[in-house]
Amino acid sequence: MSAVTDSVFKKSAVVRAARATRVKIIVGAVLTLIVVVPIVLARVLPVPDPNAQDVFLRLAAPGTEGHLFGTDQLGRDLFSRILYGGQVSLLIGVMAVLVSGVLGVVLGSLAGYYGGKVDAVISRLIEAQLSLPLLMMLLLVVALFGSSIPVIAFVIAIANWPEPARLTRAMVLVEREKPYVAAAVVLGVKRFAILLKHVIPNVISQAVVLALLLLAQAVLLESALSFLGAGPQRPFATWGRIISDGQDFIGSAWWIVTIPGLVIAFLVIGVNLIGDGLQQGSVGAAFRRLARSVTAMPGRK
Amino acid sequence: MSALLQVQDLEVTYPGPGGGFRAVQGVSFEVEKGTTLALVGESGCGKSTVAKTLVKLLEPTGGRVLLDGTDIVGLKGAELQRYRSRIQMVFQDPYGSLDPRLTAGALVAEAIALRSPGLSKAERLAEAEGFLDRVGLPAGSVTKKAPEFSGGQRQRIGIARALAVRPEIVVLDEATSALDVSVQAEILELLADIQEETGTTYVMISHNLGVVRSVADSVVVMRRGRVEESGGAKAVLGAPQSEYTQLLRSAALDPAAMSGIKPREVVRRFGAVPVAAK
Amino acid sequence: MSVIDLNDYSVELMTAAGVLKAVDSVALTLEAGKTVTIIGESGSGKSTTAMSLLGLLDHGLAVSSGKASLLGVDAVKDRRGVDALRGRRVGLIPQDPMTALSPVHTVGAQLRQAVRRGRPGTSKADAARVAVELLGSVRIPEPETQVKKYPHQFSGGMLQRVLIAIALAAEPEILVADEPTSALDVTVQASVLDLLLELQERTGVAILLITHDLGVARLMSDTIHVMRRGRFVESGPADRLVNDPQEEYTRKLLAAVPSMTDAPAVAGAKGPTASGRRRADAGHAESDTDSAAPAAANEGEAR
């Protein structure tokens, strides 16, 4: 016989937390997928050529003659430009995250595990980079080395490595003190092997979640760069460029600036919500939780 | 015949202002092969520090530690590896001392791999299963991950891991302190069984005189980094010479020794209850 | 007159794994001036019983049911009433002294706060005076100086005394002590327990003690309740329960306590009379035979 009625259970802390997580992940996933799926499927979807100009339909409002988002000042279909531009932005974002993620985790682990001089050098590098005015530095690099996609991706990766490095370093510092590490030392496992086989696997899932959050940042950074004119050059139509080109027409054709901005916002918010939701456990468990939660409430046994 | 393990004038000083903190000073004792020596004392007495120097998690700043007559202080490289195969440790924290991502089988297999590098993965796991069975874990434990076991079972895994190296000496660093009383009894019984079967030498670190009394052959009582008293277990614990050991003994509240004492009758002798004299 | 009366008292916890009945229909009575102990191993529900009774478990986590009377207040239905009792007529001594106090306030400040909460209308000057008196009553030497110190400057045993002082600040009728000595060294434990007994004799406070240590329970209690998996397995007067346990589980617990006497209390463990093992009967030839001389020369050296 239980005093816990259904209504009481529904209000319990654990159920509310699970519900909040579920909501976050679902909403986040929806927002992200709304943006990402069309972008990935761009070539398959019946959209006009993003570079096809139409002199007679310049600055057309959304919905005019099959142009879902309207057209820009050269008559190019905005929806199509956003999709294809998104491909470039996402590509850069993913590349940047992979590079900065790997770089950050590796350097952070080494710094946290070995301490001493290794840590001193890496930590100073982190601090130095964090103290630099980032956007200025990136503009400088692009000015020096050109604005091809690899350069931009590399530059954004370099910009983002300190965060995963700091987080990984902190997590490794904590793991290092745990008795199972001492147990491995006593067994005779080599120090580097302990880092590789014991410490890193225990911190990696947290780092992966952070990488997801970095994706949003990378996309934002890329947009900022192309907005300032330092992004991939024409004919690539990245989001930042579209917004930048549309500045002059804010009054007459608001959709050129606003819609790409909304798309960026959806992606960033969506990814951040997913990351938040996942942070409550390991990535694997979270995916399992996601699958379960979409289908049922936490059960009463 | 000299003892298997000899500690001579051990000193461990942590760096710091004013000459540093002397955690261990002038500590000497010997352990005969196949016996159990207990290092007892309260928190901060230095017993854990001594344990760590024995398994080379710490280097002493002075003194010698001789295994079969060879000083192990300052060992490096291949010699250090060989030493590690002769002495292992069971840790206090059943939850933190096992890598949570590994299965029980993998944890023990890692130890086996270090001792016998030539074995294949399947052979290692088979041997691991044997060790897990030996420590009383149910069949099928090989594939379960550490978090699926209870505290007592985790300590059994820790013991299996230590044994898998086939060491001559096992240091038990408060190995039962974090366990419930009934589980503690089972683990102590297991350890005694293993010693009977394999002749392994134990160095047991504990603050619990009752536990020590029931399993130790010889006892070293430590206080503030120094040896307060040492000798055969029955002598030191049954008829302690030093006042501190007497105090430790009487402060160990043993319900079985309280018959005849009405609830709440306390002799105001440093607030300790006298153990019924036998 | 009983100050605590539990009957058919249950506590259910709502966890990620479902609803867990942590306390299952227990009955307990605490009379003024007496000591009742709940003893159990980890997971038995002993702490949950006390925490729930004192209203310290969040509504979103725990649901209690049954009859529970705390100084006449219905602890199941009247959460507000229980909140008003806490810190005033009921004092709590928490388990871990090292983490139970605020590290950024002096011990004196925290004591004064407890005094003013427990005795409403006390002036600042009076509170300060009472704080020093309280420290003295828990046998802390030089209380006037100690009152200005921070928690990190005290040892574990001293901190536990401070916690007892705080619990006593309001001159409570009940003290709930949750594993009050588990985090302490054995010699320190003895003196803290002795202090509690003396305070009880002096003030007549009733004590509800939670512990896993049978020795402590036997020493301190009038009545002992043995708890396992949420249920009271056996209850009775302390000396009877220890000398003549009725239940299997109680016997198992008692048998598992390693004994300081000759009879090996550890089931099956090799005692002094075990076969096949060399024991230290005739005084083993160890390095130091008698009390080590270095012990005496200790004073100037260590910390």
> Could you tell me the strand order of the sheet in which B62-67 lies?
B21-31, B5-14, B62-67, B70-71
The per-residue pLDDT of chain A, averaged, comes to: 84
- Residue C25 contacts A, CB cutoff 8 Å: no
Cβ distance B99 to A188 less than 8 Å, yes or no, reads: no
Residues on chain C touching B196 (C-beta within 8 angstroms): 270, 276-277
- Residue C24 contacts B, CB cutoff 8 Å: no
Burial of B278 (0-12, 13-18, 19+ CB in 10 A): exposed
pLDDT tens, residue by residue, B128-179:
999 999 999 998 899 999 889 999 999 999 999 999 999 999 999 999 988 9
Contact B203, B5 (CB under 8 A): yes
Exposure string of C100-110, with b = 16+ CB inside 10 Å and e = fewer, is bbeeeebbbbb
Q: Which residues contact A292 (CB under 8 A, 6 or more apart)?
A: none
Report the range of poorest mean pLDDT among A58-62, C179-183, C241-245: A58-62
Cα–Cα distance list, B254 to C213, C242, C259 (Å): 9, 11, 6
In the structure, what pLDDT confidence band is assigned to residue A168 with cuts at 50, 70 and 90? very high
Report B:88-107 residues touching A (Cβ under 8 A).
88-89, 91-93, 96-101
In the structure, what pLDDT confidence band is assigned to residue B196 with cuts at 50, 70 and 90? very high
How confident is the model at residue A61, as a pLDDT? 84
Q: How far is B214 from chain C (nearest CA, A)?
A: 6
Token pair, residue B9, equals 């004038």
- Tell me C37's DSSP state: E
Residues on chain B touching C190 (C-beta within 8 angstroms): 250-251, 253, 270-273
Does residue A296 surpass a pLDDT of 50?
Answer: no
Locate all alpha helices (DSSP H) within chain A, ordered by sequence: 6-10, 13-40, 78-114, 116-131, 134-145, 149-160, 162-176, 179-187, 191-194, 200-227, 239-246, 255-278, 283-295
Which other chains touch chain C, taking contact as 3+ CB pairs less than 8 Å apart?
A, B
Three-class SS of residue B108?
Answer: helix
- Residue C266 contacts B, CB cutoff 8 Å: yes
With CA atoms as reference, the chain A residue closest to B101 would be: A202
Please state the rounded mean pLDDT for residues A82-92: 88
In the structure, what pLDDT confidence band is assigned to residue B262 with cuts at 50, 70 and 90? low
Residue A223: how many CB atoms within 10 A of its CB?
26
Residues on chain A touching B91 (C-beta within 8 angstroms): 179, 182-183
* pLDDT higher at C28 or B264: C28
Dihedral over Cα of B111, B116, B121, B124: its sign: negative
How confident is the model at residue A123, as a pLDDT? 95
- A131 HSE (CA, 13 A, CB side): 6
CA angle centred on A195, ends A193 and A201, rounded to 5°: 110
Which residues, listed in sequence order, are joined to residue C4 by a DSSP beta bridge? C30, C70
Among A285, A284, A280, CA closest to A19: A280
* pLDDT higher at C9 or A237: C9
Give CA B238 to chain center in angstroms.
21
Cβ distance C19 to A2 less than 8 Å, yes or no, reads: yes
Cβ distance B207 to C185 less than 8 Å, yes or no, reads: yes
In the structure, what pLDDT confidence band is assigned to residue A136 with cuts at 50, 70 and 90? confident
Give CA C303 to chain center in angstroms.
30
Contact B220, B39 (CB under 8 A): yes
Burial of B140 (0-12, 13-18, 19+ CB in 10 A): exposed
Does residue C189 surpass a pLDDT of 90?
Answer: no
Does residue C153 surpass a pLDDT of 70?
Answer: yes
Q: Which of A180, A186, A201 sits opposite B98 (nearest CB)?
A: A180
Cβ distance C284 to B214 less than 8 Å, yes or no, reads: no
Q: Return the residue matching tokens 């509310």.
A: A16
In the structure, what pLDDT confidence band is assigned to residue A285 with cuts at 50, 70 and 90? low
Residues on chain A touching C60 (C-beta within 8 angstroms): 11-14, 16
Three-class SS of residue C35?
Answer: strand
How confident is the model at residue C33, as a pLDDT? 92
In the structure, what pLDDT confidence band is assigned to residue C296 with cuts at 50, 70 and 90? very low
Cα distance between the two ends of chain B: 35
Does residue A226 surpass a pLDDT of 90?
Answer: no
Cβ distance A189 to B161 less than 8 Å, yes or no, reads: no
Does residue B275 surpass a pLDDT of 70?
Answer: no
How confident is the model at residue B263, as a pLDDT? 52
Write down the pTM of the prediction. Answer: 0.82
* pLDDT higher at C289 or B185: B185
Contact B128, B173 (CB under 8 A): no
- Residue B178 contacts A, CB cutoff 8 Å: no
Which other chains touch chain B, taking contact as 3+ CB pairs less than 8 Å apart?
A, C
Backbone angles phi, psi at C225, to 5 degrees: -115, 125
Give CA B74 to chain center in angstroms.
23
Element housing B214 (H / E):
helix B209-215
Among A50, A45, A9, CA closest to A242: A50
Cβ distance C185 to B42 less than 8 Å, yes or no, reads: yes
How confident is the model at residue C97, as a pLDDT? 85
How confident is the model at residue B32, as a pLDDT? 94
Among C167, C164, C176, CA closest to C208: C176
Please state the rounded mean pLDDT for residues B84-93: 95
Residue B267: how many CB atoms within 10 A of its CB?
12
Q: How far is A22 from chain C (nearest CA, A)?
A: 14
Residues on chain B touching A180 (C-beta within 8 angstroms): 96-100
Q: Which of C12, C17, C58 sits opposite A2 (nearest CB)?
A: C12
Token pair, residue A93, equals 């974002």
For every residue of C206-275, which 3-state class applies, written as one string? EEEEEECCHHHHHHHCCEEEEEECCEEEEEEEHHHHHHCCCCHHHHHHHHHCCCCCCCCCCCCCCCCCCC
Strands B226-232 and B218-223: antiparallel
Cβ distance B111 to A185 less than 8 Å, yes or no, reads: no
CA distance C8 to C67: 6
CA distance B122 to B128: 10
How confident is the model at residue B261, as a pLDDT? 63
In the structure, what pLDDT confidence band is assigned to residue C76 with cuts at 50, 70 and 90? very high
Report the range of poorest mean pLDDT among A11-20, B193-202, B246-255, C57-66: B246-255
- Residue C293 contacts B, CB cutoff 8 Å: no
CA distance B18 to C276: 51
**Which value, in Å, is the radius of gyration of the alpha carbons in chain B?**
20
CA distance C29 to A9: 30
* Range A71-74, long-range pairs (CB < 8 A, 24+ positions): A72/A242, A72/A245, A72/A246, A72/A249, A72/A253, A72/A256, A73/A245, A73/A246, A73/A248, A73/A249, A73/A253, A73/A256
Q: How far is A118 from chain B (nearest CA, A)?
A: 21
Cβ distance C238 to B184 less than 8 Å, yes or no, reads: no
CA distance C24 to C40: 14
Which of A6, A12, A15, A288 to mutate against chain C (most C CBs within 10 Å)? A12
CA distance C177 to C51: 11
ipTM over 0.95: no
Beta strands in chain B (DSSP E): 5-14, 21-31, 36-40, 62-67, 70-71, 87-90, 169-173, 201-206, 218-223, 226-232
CA distance B159 to B153: 10
Which residues, listed in sequence order, are joined to residue B223 by a DSSP beta bridge? B226
How confident is the model at residue C144, as a pLDDT? 92
Which residues, listed in sequence order, are joined to residue C38 by a DSSP beta bridge? C210, C225
* Proportion of chain A above pLDDT 90, given as a percent: 30
Dihedral over Cα of C208, C211, C216, C221: its sign: positive
Does residue A205 surpass a pLDDT of 90?
Answer: no
Residues on chain C touching B180 (C-beta within 8 angstroms): 41-42, 212
pLDDT tens, residue by residue, C109-137:
999 999 998 888 889 999 999 999 999 99
Token pair, residue A240, equals 């930042």
Exposure string of B162-194, with b = 16+ CB inside 10 Å and e = fewer, is bbbbbbbbbbbbbbbebbbbbbbbbbbbbbbbb
Give CA A15 to chain center in angstroms.
29
